[in-house]
Chain A
Amino acid sequence: GQQLNQSPQSMFIQEGEDVSMNCTSSSIFNTWLWYKQDPGEGPVLLIALYKAGELTSNGRLTAQFGITRKDSFLNISASIPSDVGIYFCAGQEEGAQKLVFGQGTRLTINP
């Protein structure tokens, strides 16, 4: 099925570093969502974006809905060990119920 292009696929960073990941699509989306998934669990919603240009923060996390409506990024500042996991972007086209998911970004943090 259709997928978003999410990058990078994996990141290995030191604790305290900032992290940036992004998703791009060939389609225009009305909604962008960012989820985090820990091993053996379901994805947990981090940030939801509903408007082009919207910049939203959730603690150390900041995400933006691109102006072209075809991309979004997620930043994590001052990473800590519990940030380890897989981050997924997801987009929704206008009028569609279903989400399209990115391939995920696996974040590993060295203490």
Chain B
Amino acid sequence: GAVVSQHPSWVICKSGTSVKIECRSLDFQATTMFWYRQFPKQSLMLMATSNEGSKATYEQGVEKDKFLINHASLTLSTLTVTSAHPEDSSFYICSASWGGTDTQYFGPGTRLTVL
């Protein structure tokens, strides 16, 4: 149980384009989803917290107009990296939790490379 998927698993795009990453909870309803970014050999850095039906709460230093987050249903959240630049290249990981538990279950991650 508590399986989270992400799509795509990797993506390569040109600078200036937008990329959408999907995060799905497959066997539970996720009241809260989280988006993280991880650079090589570093820990996970939280970008934003998303509660279903509400606007996402962004961490300090994360541009909300650049990283658009939508959590329209209890099983799907999307992260859109707009006007991507090479410095946005990273490993993006989502996690999900449901009401009554604090435990977060992570997706397999999406490797974004911006050329």
Contact = CB atoms under 8 A, between A and B. Distances in A.
A42 B106 CA distance: 6
Nearest to A2: B46
A3 B46 CA distance: 11
A37 B102 CA distance: 19
Interface in A24-79: 30-31, 33, 35, 40-45, 48, 50
Q: Which label, helix, strand, loop or mixed, suits the secondary structure of the A interface? A: loop
How many chain B residues sit at the interface, stated as a range, is 20 to 34
B43 A3 contact: yes
26 contacts: A1-B46, A1-B60, A31-B102, A31-B103, A33-B104, A35-B106, A40-B91, A40-B109, A41-B109, A42-B4, A42-B93, A42-B107, A42-B108, A43-B93, A43-B106, A44-B106, A45-B2, A45-B103, A45-B104, A45-B105, A45-B106, A92-B102, A97-B32, A97-B49, A99-B104, A101-B44
Interface of B: 2, 4, 6, 32, 34, 42-46, 49, 59-60, 91, 93, 95, 97, 102-109, 111
